[in-house]
A and B are shown apart, each in its own frame.
Chain A
Amino acid sequence: MAPKLPPQHTLEQSSATTTAGQAQEHDHHHGGPTGIKRWLLTTNHKEIGTLYLLFSLSMFFIGGIFALVVRAELFQPGLQLVEPEFFNQMTTMHGLIMVFGAVMPAFVGLANWMIPLQVGAPDMALPRLNNFSFWLLPVAFGLLLSTLFMPGGAPNFGWTFYAPLSTDYGPPSTTFFIFSLHIAGISSILGAINIIATILNMRAPGMRMMDMPLFVWTWLITAFLLIAVMPVLAGVITMMLMDINFGTSFFDAGGGGDPVLFQHLFWFFGHPEVYIMILPAFGIVSAIVPAFARKPLFGYASMVYATASIAILSFLVWVHHMFVVGLPLAAELFFMYTTMLIAVPTGVKVFNWVTTLFRGSITFETPMLFALAFIVMFTIGGFSGLMLAIVPADFQYHDTYFVVAHFHYVLVPGAVFAIIAGAYYWLPKWTGHYPDERLGRWHFWLSVIGVNLTFFPMHFSGLAGMPRRIPDYALQFADFNMVSSIGGFIFGVSQLLFIAVLIKCVRGGEKAPAKAWDGAEDLEWTVPSPAPLHTFETPPDLTSQAPQRH
């Protein structure tokens, strides 16, 4: 992309002129509404970022509890704790809550907080839209969670809600599930539009596209993916809604439709969706690794191009989720090769992180620990993905715990670890205090042990043929499952340490200077810690600075 000209500014704006004729005459930034109203009405990117992060955290725990119900049931073979019907609701709700309620809002929260700070903007481009995007989420997930209490129970067809399982055989609450997903989707699209407008239009004078921190770059590309595929999701759930309520035949072969069509549409959304959940993670890791290796990021430009290539390729691989559904051989081969191609730009990224570490003077504070664990374990998830991409192998792996192991490796020690790493990294900027190192290390090591105990054995149970989404299993899988369940509870409980760290950090702790980490170079480290409510009201002029990165 060509460097953009610095924005032109008009200097005669002042808030004194904004009062007349407004609904909120007295809501000046200083002495604005207080209490709950402050949070309901806020248009401040930092407050909205905080709201997103807290929302995501609460969803992380709710989704986590659902996962622990699943793990508790699977601790031993046979049916012990819950009815199979409820087990299905738990797996489904766990997936939906974690994907749409925990991981995606967490990244949007980080984007809200950090993108304006990293590009030298006073706020997001469209602050009221930003508020709207956030407050749609509690509505959406309140509605989704309420399905648990509806007659027939919550959605029970897996987070991928394949038709006709969801249309013909789903519970009555499916209609409510569709509407809740619609609301969450609107929130995502509007949030993504806001992020793109901020990045393209609000950069400080002199910051060219290729000067932007990688977190900004990865979010720019993520926002594009969101705007491209969330409407497709909206389309497919609308068609489900019509099949359920209005007698249409989109996914009913008896009327000339096709259940496989559902899978095509869903995965056309679904595969880019997994990059929506990992590209911002790449951005966070690309900020943390150089900061703690005290070296500039190796291969900045190649990181940008690799991210863009991954995004483009992500539109051409969706069928790898459907290899066993019965497709022409040509399609299977095409999508196998495109999928394997993604390993190339991903490999570029891992190579660049490792090379950044090479001969760095590395220290291992908590954010760095999580970032390094990300690199190792995300790569494990990447490799199992490569195995799954191979059509004949996938025939064996499909719908087994091997798949569960794969996507949890890229999502938990991948996306979630990156979010946690980002939180530890930016907490000094948010609160003015360093997070407690000792608690942080405990949190890290228990998380690493818990995650690997949970998900590594799933590779073996999966390869041995254990199917996913089943509450009972054959005896030969018993040991692996017991280990997984113990690991799951270790991981789940150790997240309480994270809460402890957060509370301690908000309340006090070692004071952080503006530049909290000595290798951190981006613009957010030039404003005080904690960042005041309003920053960069006058844009920093970067035109005089030497190009930062290359």
Chain B
Amino acid sequence: MSGSYYVPETSKWPALGSAAVGLMMIGMGVVLVHGVGSLVLGLGTVAVLAVMWFWFRDVVIESRQGLYDAQMDRSFRWGMGWFIFSEVMFFAAFFGTLYYVRVFALPWLDGEGAKGIATLLWPDFTASWPLMNPPDSSISGPRDIVSPWQLPLVNTLFLVASSITLTVSHEALKEGLRATARNWLIVTLALGACFLVVQGVEYYEAYTHYGITLDAGIYGSTFFLLTGFHGFHVTVGVVTLAVMLGRILKGHFSRDDHFAFEAGAWYWHFVDVVWIGLFLFVYVF
């Protein structure tokens, strides 16, 4: 067994992971369809998180033992890069939805275009964006919309700033300035947490004051689809970076061997870029 490739040992986490994913999904399904089984959902979610923890923990331990060679490092890089590409396509579907609804679906419902028969369904319907009055009167649209120049702008500043502070932290790590890296990473985490808090406040206001809800027609649908999945990704990013902070505090990472940190940073920048898109197309235009 003295090959020149590194092939990792077997592990029980992947198989347990798929069982946990199954449990979580079944739990979610039962909760949604039958309204019971939140215990299964909770257990499944905890199991998924636990498997992630232990699986990554093994990888960290092996990495700390110096088992991973340059080739393994490149495999991780390709893996993370293509994973982020898959996430880009996931959001592309949602941005595509927003674009399609605004540019095609609503004007067509209003009778525009050669196929103007759709206007026969709701002759009184007038297209607008944000769509305050959905065609079917049984669906009540939002009463008001979130102004981009208040909380969303603040959040934009938070996230852009966090991208900068994270880059400073990364550069510091590369220079071997561990304390500096740690401090800027803490700032980044704080900015990410602020973003999430502000997003929570905005959701609260949207639901209670503006009437922007999931069932407020297509405006509420796209609003929560895009901001919701983005918010979820920010949460994942914050947790990832928090783990990186923990690892820095434990003395992990060297000047030229810290791909986990770098992967977390890639992910964070990706989440930022998505937000810029959101800010422009969900809030401003």
Binding site for B on A (CB under 8 A): 7-11, 13-24, 27-30, 32-33, 40-43, 121-123, 125-129, 131-132, 135-136, 138-139, 142-143, 172-173, 175-176, 179-180, 182-183, 186, 189, 192-194, 196-198, 200-202, 227-232, 234-236, 238-239, 241-242, 245-250, 253-258, 260-261, 264-265, 268, 326-329, 534, 536-539
Contact = CB atoms under 8 A, between A and B. Distances in A.
A183 B139 contact: no
A179 B25 contact: yes
A253 B32 CA distance: 24
Contact of B134 (A21, A33, A249): A249
Contacts of B32: 175, 241, 245
A246 B225 CA distance: 11
B111 to A, nearest CB: 13
Q: What size tier do the contact residues of chain B reach?
A: 35 or more
Contacts of B5: 9, 13, 121-123, 202, 536-537, 539
B29 A231 contact: no
Given A182-B25, A242-B214, A257-B101, A265 B93 contact: yes
22 contacts: A9-B5, A10-B70, A18-B62, A22-B58, A43-B11, A131-B10, A132-B15, A135-B15, A142-B22, A179-B29, A183-B21, A196-B78, A201-B71, A235-B97, A249-B215, A249-B218, A253-B136, A256-B101, A258-B100, A258-B101, A265-B96, A537-B2
A15 B85 contact: no
Interface string B206-227: 0000000111011111101100
Contact of A235 (B7, B18, B93, B114): B93
B109 to A, nearest CB: 6
A228 B89 contact: yes
B75 interface: yes
Contact of B67 (A8, A13, A138, A255): A13
Interface in B78-123: 78-79, 82-83, 85-87, 89-90, 92-94, 96-97, 100-101, 104-106, 108-109, 113-115, 118, 121
Given A132-B14, A253-B135, A201 B4 contact: no
Contacts of B33: 172-173, 175-176
B7 A122 contact: yes
A125 B76 CA distance: 9
A228 B113 CA distance: 31
Contacts of B82: 192-193, 196-197, 227
B217 A229 contact: no
Interface of B: 1-15, 17-19, 21-22, 25-26, 28-29, 32-33, 54-55, 58, 61-62, 65, 67, 69-71, 74-76, 78-79, 82-83, 85-87, 89-90, 92-94, 96-97, 100-101, 104-106, 108-109, 113-115, 118, 121, 131, 134-136, 138-139, 213-215, 217-222, 224-225
B65 A256 contact: no
A261 B138 CA distance: 22
A234 B25 CA distance: 14
Nearest to B229: A238
A328 B113 CA distance: 8
Contact of B221 (A42, A180, A242): A242
Contact of A261 (B1, B101, B213, B214): B101
Given A41-B11, A235-B93, A264-B100, A13 B65 contact: no
Contacts of A129: 14, 79
What is the predominant secondary structure among interface residues of chain A facing chain B? helix
Q: Which of A231, A242, A246, A255 has the most chain B CB within a 10 Å cutoff?
A: A255
A310 to B, nearest CB: 19
A121 B71 CA distance: 12
B230 to A, nearest CB: 13
A10 B2 CA distance: 11
A457 to B, nearest CB: 36
Given A242-B225, A249-B221, A9 B65 contact: no
Given A13-B4, A41-B10, A43-B10, A258 B134 contact: no
A247 B75 contact: no
Given A32-B10, A236-B93, A256-B219, A125 B79 contact: yes
Contacts of A136: 18, 21
Given A15-B2, A135-B17, A228-B89, 19 more contacts: A7-B70, A7-B74, A20-B65, A28-B9, A43-B8, A123-B5, A125-B79, A126-B79, A132-B15, A143-B22, A172-B33, A182-B25, A197-B75, A202-B71, A228-B86, A232-B90, A248-B224, A328-B114, A539-B5
> Which 7 pairs, one residue from A and one from B, show the smallest C-beta to C-beta distance?
A537-B3, A254-B136, A235-B93, A247-B215, A256-B218, A132-B14, A248-B221
A128 B69 contact: no
A242 B224 CA distance: 10
B75 A8 contact: no
A539 B4 CA distance: 7
B9 A131 contact: no
A123 B13 CA distance: 19
Nearest to B90: A231
B115 A256 contact: no
Q: By CB atoms of chain A within 10 A, which of B7, B62, B115 has the most?
A: B7
Contacts of B104: 258
Nearest to B100: A261
A444 B222 CA distance: 52
A143 B214 CA distance: 28
B138 A33 contact: no
A538 B6 CA distance: 10
A229 B225 contact: no
A383 B78 CA distance: 38
B103 to A, nearest CB: 11
B277 to A, nearest CB: 15
A254 B104 CA distance: 15
A247 B136 CA distance: 14
A132 to B, nearest CB: 4
A235 B100 contact: no
B69 A246 contact: no
Contacts of B28: 179
Contacts of B92: 231-232
Contact of A13 (B6, B215, B222): B6
B3 A13 contact: yes
A248 B78 contact: no
A258 B105 contact: yes
